[in-house]
């Protein structure tokens, strides 16, 4: 076991000092807000966010620049590493960015952590490490189809070196397609639910990239954050890798019908060409994560309803 938690100013309460990389991104910001009342949360991201600056101690720099890590505090208990170029499609067009922002940034983070020795590093990997496959468990073969999948797999292995080279523990979560309120609706290349919702709201018709029989397992962002939070204190997750998904198997038709129901509208589907490197089918098994006590709290219908009402609330 690494360091002992410091005592919080409030009598009896224990504060954990947490660094969240990628803390102004979709999942990182949700996680920061979930943890902020219980712990001391710092955020690192290359993309400044005024709201985060007001609420958290923030560090804004590109993690692929090693010397810039000198500005960070040195006494974190838990480091959540979420920062990444997070799109498969973007990685196919800009593989060098993907390599810098995912691989190089993760190597620099590992070196930083070997220096400061937090108790644990929690890393968000991706279903992209598997390529096209059905019912994958954590032991299934990895066969990434995009530069993104390769860089996430490489990052997993960099993170595992922490355990080899020190007593810093890790937990790795292979997130499946994550969706939920506050996801970026303007990015039409990333996030199957956010892309479909974005088109549905704008045009009442949705272009489906690639095959109509593509298959995905999804997970709501709240359920991702609850799993990441559990990793902070649950020693059974130390030095383990988990699939993080809701096992409901979703096709474009199922997702579009659920969106249509939530909106109370008819939505038309338009079929478009796919692209090389697209992950057309991926479903997984979450038994290992469920055995730690985690379970998804929202099914697809509930998750899409949460997402859509949040958009309506923001526009209304």
Q: What are phi and psi of 164, to 5 degrees?
A: -65, -35
Choosing from 83, 150, 193, 225, the residue that interacts with ligand NAD (CB under 6 A) is 83
Within residues 90-149, the interface with ligand NAD by CB under 6 A covers: 101, 105, 124, 126
Query: By Cβ distance, which residue is nearest to ligand NAD?
Result: 25
Residue with tokens 């995009």: 146
Residue 5 beta carbon to ligand NAD: minimum distance, rounded to whole angstroms: 25
Residue 8 beta carbon to ligand NAD: minimum distance, rounded to whole angstroms: 28
Site string for ligand NAD, 10-49 (x = CB under 6 A): ------------x-xxxxx----------------xxx--
Site string for ligand NAD, 192-231 (x = CB under 6 A): ----------------------------------------
Nearer to ligand NAD, 5 or 190 (CB): 190
Within residues 139-178, the interface with ligand NAD by CB under 6 A covers: 175, 177-178
What angle, 0 to 180 degrees and rounded to 10, lies between the N-to-C axes of helices 300-315 and 192-203? 50
The token pair that represents 172 in the structure block: 């790795």
Nearer to ligand NAD, 15 or 187 (CB): 187
Residue 31 beta carbon to ligand NAD: minimum distance, rounded to whole angstroms: 9
Residue 28 beta carbon to ligand NAD: minimum distance, rounded to whole angstroms: 5
CB atoms closer than 10 angstroms to residue 272: 10
Residue 49 vs residues 44, 181, 239: alpha-carbon distances, Å: 11, 17, 32
The token pair that represents 56 in the structure block: 């958290």
Question: What DSSP string describes 136-184?
Answer: E-TTSPP---SHHHHHHHHHHHHHHHHHHHSS-EEEEEEE-EEE-TT--
CA atoms within 13 A on the CB side of 235: 3
CA distance 305 to 299: 10
Nearer to ligand NAD, 14 or 138 (CB): 138
What are the residues facing 244 on neighbouring strands?
Answer: 175
Q: Among candidates 204, 228, 221, 183, which has minimal Cα distance to 303? A: 221
- Residue 64 interacts with ligand NAD (CB under 6 A)? yes
Q: What are phi and psi of 104, to 5 degrees?
A: -60, -40
Choosing from 16, 32, 72, 84, the residue that interacts with ligand NAD (CB under 6 A) is 84
Residue 148 beta carbon to ligand NAD: minimum distance, rounded to whole angstroms: 7
Site size toward ligand NAD (CB under 6 A) is 25
Nearer to ligand NAD, 27 or 304 (CB): 27
Give the footprint of ligand NAD on this chain (CB under 6 A): 22, 24-28, 45-47, 62-64, 82-86, 101, 105, 124, 126, 175, 177-178, 191
């Amino acid at each position: 076991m690494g360091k002992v938690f410091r005592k919080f100013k409030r009598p009896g309460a224990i504060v954990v000092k947490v660094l969240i990389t990628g803390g102004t991104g979709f999942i990182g910001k949700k996680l920061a807000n979930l943890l902020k009342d219980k712990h001391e949360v710092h955020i690192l991201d290359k993309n400044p966010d005024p709201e985060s600056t007001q609420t958290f101690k923030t560090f804004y720099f590109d993690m692929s620049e090693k010397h810039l890590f000198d500005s960070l505090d040195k006494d974190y208990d838990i480091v959540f590493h979420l920062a990444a170029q997070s799109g498969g499609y973007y990685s196919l067009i800009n593989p060098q960015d993907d390599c810098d922002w995912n691989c190089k940034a993760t190597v620099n983070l590992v070196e930083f952590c070997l220096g400061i020795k937090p108790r644990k590093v929690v890393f968000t990997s991706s279903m992209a490490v598997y390529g096209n496959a059905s019912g994958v468990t954590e032991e299934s073969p990895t066969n990434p189809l995009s530069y993104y999948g390769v860089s996430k797999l490489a990052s997993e292995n960099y993170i595992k070196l922490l355990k080899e080279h020190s007593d810093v523990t890790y937990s790795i979560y292979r997130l499946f397609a994550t969706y939920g309120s506050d996801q970026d609706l303007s990015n039409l290349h990333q996030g199957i639910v956010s892309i479909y919702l974005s088109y549905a709201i704008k045009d009442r018709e949705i272009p489906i990239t690639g095959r109509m029989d593509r298959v995905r397992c999804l997970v709501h962002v709240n359920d991702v954050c609850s799993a990441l939070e559990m990793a902070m204190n649950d020693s059974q997750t130390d030095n383990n890798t988990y699939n993080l998904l809701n096992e409901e198997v979703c096709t474009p038709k199922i997702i579009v019908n659920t969106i249509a129901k939530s909106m109370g509208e008819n939505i038309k589907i338009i079929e478009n060409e796919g692209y090389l490197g697209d992950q057309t089918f991926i479903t997984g098994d979450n038994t290992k994560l469920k055995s730690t006590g985690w379970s998804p709290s929202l099914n697809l219908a509930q998750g899409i309803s949460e997402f859509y009402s949040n958009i309506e609330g923001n526009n209304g």
